[in-house]
Amino acid sequence: MSEKYRAGYVTLLGRPNVGKSTLLNRLVKQKISITANRPQTTRHSITGINTTDSFQIIYVDTPGFNNVTNSSLNKRMNKTSRTSLVGVDCIVLMIGPKGWTEADKAAAELLHSIDVPVFLVINKIDILKDKNTLLPFIENSAAETGIKFEEIIPISAETGENVNNLEAKLLAILPVQQKLFSDNQVTDKSDRFLAGELVREQIFRVIGEEVPYAVAVKVEKFKKEGKLLRIEAIIWVEKKGQKAILIGKKGDQIKKIGTHARKAMENSFGTKVFLELWVKVRANWRDNEQALRLFGYGDD
């Protein structure tokens, strides 16, 4: 290994739906974190690892930091975001292209006592008709937050525009040290965890309204049987009405969710998947500490 090999941790921080998970997947060049056009899809701290012959960058995707917490689950997610700032080599604060929102400022406030370099990344520049509108935004960002940014970098995680430049800037400040993970490891999460997340992703994409936020997915069986991977999972909701919406008329919605999730699993795991889903009710699980632990929402 080269004496100039670099390795280190980079936390991705920001408000809900700013594009952190899309950026993580782009940086590690495969799907690690689920995405949807809805805020607060990510609920866990998820590590994605990009390893090359000259560097290893460990990216930490975090739940969107929410300045309005209305459940024990949201409080746990915010705690996960805060603890993900400890022991890392640098932080990427992500915001959208149209200016600072109160939610952006709430995320930025977490960084006032952090003593590592902070990069400000302005995401979704692909939706801007005139990129010159970024200039005053960039010039005012330090004064807006009271943070001295290492650099301010506009990108599009969706299209990949300027993402290589971001990675090069991050790499330049990482410590010279040996790899922290093996070459073939791309995340700290198991395939079983990813299976549950892929089901939850499809619920966000198929079901509208507020139902997806009341959903937890617990994988009960994850077993390879010859060339087939058999997965069984329970989708937990808080109300009978939510269960009816998820199942749909004559089971059409749960069938659609299962079909899309199975195809995503086959793509991720590289094998045929047999997926069975059930929907069950556990009232107010988002405010029940025992249920939160049972469904995998312990301290990340």
Asked whether the predicted pLDDT for residue 41 surpasses 90, the reply is: no
* Model pLDDT, residue 2: 62
* Model pLDDT, residue 280: 97
Q: What is the rounded average pLDDT of the residues 187-215?
A: 92
Q: Where in the chain is the domain with CATH 3.30.300.20?
A: 191-294
Q: What is the rounded average pLDDT of the residues 122-147?
A: 88
Residue 231, φ and ψ in degrees, nearest 5: -125, 130
Q: What is the rounded average pLDDT of the residues 236-249?
A: 96
pLDDT tens digits for 65-100? 887 767 899 889 989 999 999 999 999 999 999 889
Per-residue 3-state assignment (H helix, E strand, C coil) for the chain: CCCCCEEEEEEEEECCCCCHHHHHHHHHCCCCCCCCCCCCCCCCCEEEEEECCCEEEEEEECCCCCCCCCCHHHHHHHHHHHHCCCCCCEEEEEECCCCCCHHHHHHHHCCCCCCCCEEEEECCHHHCCCHHHHHHHHHHHHHHHCCCCCEEEECCCCCCCCHHHHHHHHHHHCCECCCCCCCCCCECCCHHHHHHHHHHHHHHHHCCCCHHHHCEEEEEEEEEECCEEEEEEEEEECCHHHHHHHHCHHHHHHHHHHHHHHHHHHHHHCCEEEEEEEEEECCCHHHCHHHHHHCCCCCC
What is the rounded distance in angstroms from the CA atom of residue 157 to the CA atom of residue 24?
A: 8
* Model pLDDT, residue 299: 57
Tokens of 274: 């047999």
**From 1-5, 37-41, 110-114, 174-178, the region with the lowest mean pLDDT:** 1-5
* Model pLDDT, residue 132: 81
What is the rounded distance in angstroms from the CA atom of residue 16 to the CA atom of residue 39?
A: 5
What is the rounded distance in angstroms from the CA atom of residue 16 to the CA atom of residue 104?
A: 9
Q: Where in the chain is the domain with CATH 3.40.50.300?
A: 6-173
What is the rounded distance in angstroms from the CA atom of residue 203 to the CA atom of residue 243?
A: 12
Strands 90-95, 118-122: pairing is: parallel
Q: With contact defined as beta carbons under 8 Å apart, do 243 and 254 qualify?
A: no
Asked whether the predicted pLDDT for residue 6 surpasses 80, the reply is: yes
Q: What is the rounded average pLDDT of the residues 194-199?
A: 96
Q: What is the rounded average pLDDT of the residues 41-54?
A: 92
- Of 8, 210, 202, 7, the C-alpha closest to 89 is 8
Res. 151 pLDDT band, cuts 50 70 90: very high
* Model pLDDT, residue 140: 86
**From 32-46, 189-203, 219-233, 235-249, the region with the lowest mean pLDDT:** 32-46
* Model pLDDT, residue 42: 87
Q: What is the rounded average pLDDT of the residues 133-162?
A: 91
What is the fold, at CATH topology level, of the domain defined by 6-173?
A: Rossmann fold (3.40.50)
pLDDT tens digits for 116-125? 999 999 999 9
Range 191-294 has CATH code 3.30.300.20: yes
- Of 157, 170, 188, the C-alpha closest to 55 is 170
pLDDT tens digits for 97-117? 988 999 999 999 999 889 999
Res. 300 pLDDT band, cuts 50 70 90: low
- pTM above 0.85? yes
pLDDT tens digits for 243-265? 999 999 999 999 999 999 999 99
Strand partners, 223: 230
